Amino acid sequence: MNPAIQGTFTVMHVSTAADFDNFVYGAYVIINNPASVTINGTTFAPQNEWDGQVIPLLIDGATTTPDANIMLLGNPIAPQTEVKTGLISGTTTTFQNNTGIVETYQYVDIKTGNPIRS
């Protein structure tokens, strides 16, 4: 969910110092009215009226060109969203003359946010 919908941001980063591995950015602010910027793969010339306005948009770090004239607003990525869930391994095992695959699954406990393996 885009945090701009809620209007809550805990960090402001100039896009040249953005950390897309640890933060999700849900809005941007144009500062100093640059000639052109590239956000989410689209290059455009911001209007003078946009200078200083918060523009809600989920920012894709792979397709946004860093620019000192773009301030990104966002929040840290929750650690539990980085935990792999579902089937994480399957190994062939022999037990009492029977051969089979032992599968390990991992889930996230929704109360604690900690991973659980079965």
Would you kindly state where each structural domain of the chain is located, as residue ranges? 3-76, 79-117
- Selection from 37, 82, 41 nearest residue 61 by Cα: 41
The pTM for the full model equals 0.62
Q: What is the pLDDT of residues 30-68, one digit of tens each?
A: 888 788 889 999 999 888 888 888 888 899 999 998 888
The pLDDT of residue 85 is above 80: no
State yes or no: pLDDT of 115 exceeds 90. Answer: no
- Nearest CA to 73 among 86, 98, 56? 56
Instruction: Please report the beta strands in 18-112, taking only residues with DSSP state E, as ranges in sequence order.
Output: 23-30, 37-39, 42-44, 54-56, 70-76, 86-95, 98-108
Over 80: is that where the pLDDT of 86 sits? Answer: no
